[in-house]
């Protein structure tokens, strides 16, 4: 068995091989060195430095306020902690929508300044020129369709998307477009499971779901699945532990030990 140090980086080509062979793709977010190191060591395929950092790291209501400089800071910390996983970084709101030149400049900054391997962009036909231009510079792009959080003020709600026929049709067309453009994978967020399944079956590009049923892979926000966030409980979220409680109990014990003159003891001093 090879040791953790010898393990080779996951590539975008491997994501395609995983889909071709029916092996599910696993993906989680991370925003800092220490958490990225643990998640990578546990064997995840893809680490997403999501703009959900705006919510879980910075406490904003939406993902809109986070800047490119902040994403670069988070992403470069993550990259230093990762040996195996493919690292994908979100292009934040306002850094690609206006035109393809801006999109390429933002993607180049991410690639040069963080060492990540892929950028992720929200939107289908609206983002076509931007995705084309970034791909033409040799930068892999992951798409993101369905409930795209940077458009939350257009949607006005976080309810399941593409429940109506016209939106479902656009989603299908957008997914085909992203595959034709050459995206290495597509995240589909919060849409009916049958629709996402249909897209994953029709397309050869890997479809990674979040609240989109059982497709080629799954992504969750690590802080949510580890129970660090408590206020967010959508149906699609499975909590694998309750770090909020574990940390709260640990801090309470620390406070008690100090107040009781139990910490530090004889062995914990010089
Ligand atoms: O920013 C993020 O964490 C994401 C995932 C929810 C897919 O885009």
Q: Is 22 helix (H, G, I), strand (E, B) or coil?
A: coil
Task: Tell me how far the alpha carbon of residue 157 lies from the centroid of ligand 1, in angstroms.
Answer: 17
Task: Tell me how far the alpha carbon of residue 52 lies from the centroid of ligand 1, in angstroms.
Answer: 6
Count CA atoms closer than 13 A to 37's CA, side-chain side.
Answer: 7
189 is catalytic: yes
Q: Is the CB of 56 under 6 A from ligand 1?
A: no
Residue nearest to atom 4 of ligand 1 (CA): 50
Q: Is the CB of 106 under 6 A from ligand 1?
A: no
Q: Is the CB of 29 under 6 A from ligand 1?
A: yes
pTM, rounded to two decimals: 0.96
4-239: CATH number? 3.20.20.60
Q: What is the per-residue pLDDT across 35-63, written as a single tens digit (0 to 9) for each?
A: 999 999 999 999 999 999 999 999 999 99
Count CA atoms closer than 13 A to 267's CA, side-chain side.
Answer: 0
Report domain extents, the chain: 4-239, 242-270
Q: Is the CB of 77 under 6 A from ligand 1?
A: no
Q: What is the per-residue pLDDT across 219-254, written as a single tens digit (0 to 9) for each?
A: 999 999 999 999 889 999 999 999 999 999 999 999
Q: Is the CB of 187 under 6 A from ligand 1?
A: yes
CA distances from 77 to 12, 41, 114, 143, 263 (A): 21, 16, 8, 23, 32
Q: Dmax of the chain from CA atoms?
A: 70
Q: Is the CB of 147 under 6 A from ligand 1?
A: no
Q: Output the tens digit of pLDDT for each of the chain's 270 residues.
A: 555 556 799 999 999 999 999 999 999 999 999 999 999 999 999 999 999 999 999 999 999 999 999 999 999 999 999 999 999 999 999 999 999 999 999 999 999 999 999 999 999 999 999 999 999 999 999 999 999 999 999 999 999 999 999 999 999 999 999 999 999 999 999 999 999 999 999 999 999 999 999 999 999 999 999 999 998 899 999 999 999 999 999 999 999 999 999 999 999 999
Looking from the CA of residue 221, the nearest atom of ligand 1 is: 3
Task: Tell me how far the alpha carbon of residue 252 lies from the centroid of ligand 1, in angstroms.
Answer: 32
User: Would you state the structure tokens that stand for residue 268, as one six-digit string?
Assistant: 């914990």
SS (H, E, C) 64-112: CCCCHHHHHHHHHHHHHHCCCCEEEEECCCCCCCCCHHHHHHHHHHHHH
Can you give the pLDDT at residue 6? Answer: 64
Among the listed residues 70, 122, 189, 231, the single catalytic one is 189
The DSSP call for residue 43 is T
């Amino acid at each position: 068995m090879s040791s953790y140090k010898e393990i080779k980086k996951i590539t975008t080509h491997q994501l395609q091989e995983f889909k071709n062979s029916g092996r599910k793709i696993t993906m989680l977010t991370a925003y800092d060195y220490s958490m990225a190191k643990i998640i990578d060591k546990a064997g995840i395929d893809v680490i997403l430095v999501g703009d959900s950092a705006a919510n879980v790291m910075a406490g904003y209501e939406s993902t809109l306020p986070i800047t490119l400089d902040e994403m670069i800071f988070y992403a470069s910390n993550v990259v230093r902690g990762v040996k195996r996983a493919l690292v994908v970084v979100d292009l934040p709101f306002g850094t690609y929508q206006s035109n393809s030149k801006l999109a390429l400049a933002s993607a180049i900054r991410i690639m040069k300044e963080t060492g990540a391997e892929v950028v992720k962009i929200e939107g289908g036909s609206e983002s076509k020129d931007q995705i084309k231009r970034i791909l033409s510079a040799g930068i892999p792009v992951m798409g993101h369709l369905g409930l795209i959080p940077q458009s939350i003020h257009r949607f006005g709600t976080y309810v399941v998307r593409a429940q109506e026929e016209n939106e479902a049709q656009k989603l299908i067309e957008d997914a085909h477009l992203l595959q034709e453009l050459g995206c290495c994978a597509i995240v589909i967020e919060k849409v009916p499971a049958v629709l996402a399944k249909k897209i994953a079956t029709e397309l050869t590009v890997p479809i990674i779901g979040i609240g989109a049923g059982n497709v080629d892979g799954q992504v969750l926000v690590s802080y949510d699945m580890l129970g660090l966030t408590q206020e967010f409980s959508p149906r699609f979220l499975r909590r694998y532990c309750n770090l909020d409680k574990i940390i709260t109990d640990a801090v309470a014990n620390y406070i008690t030990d100090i107040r009781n003159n139990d910490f530090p003891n004889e062995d914990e001093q010089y």
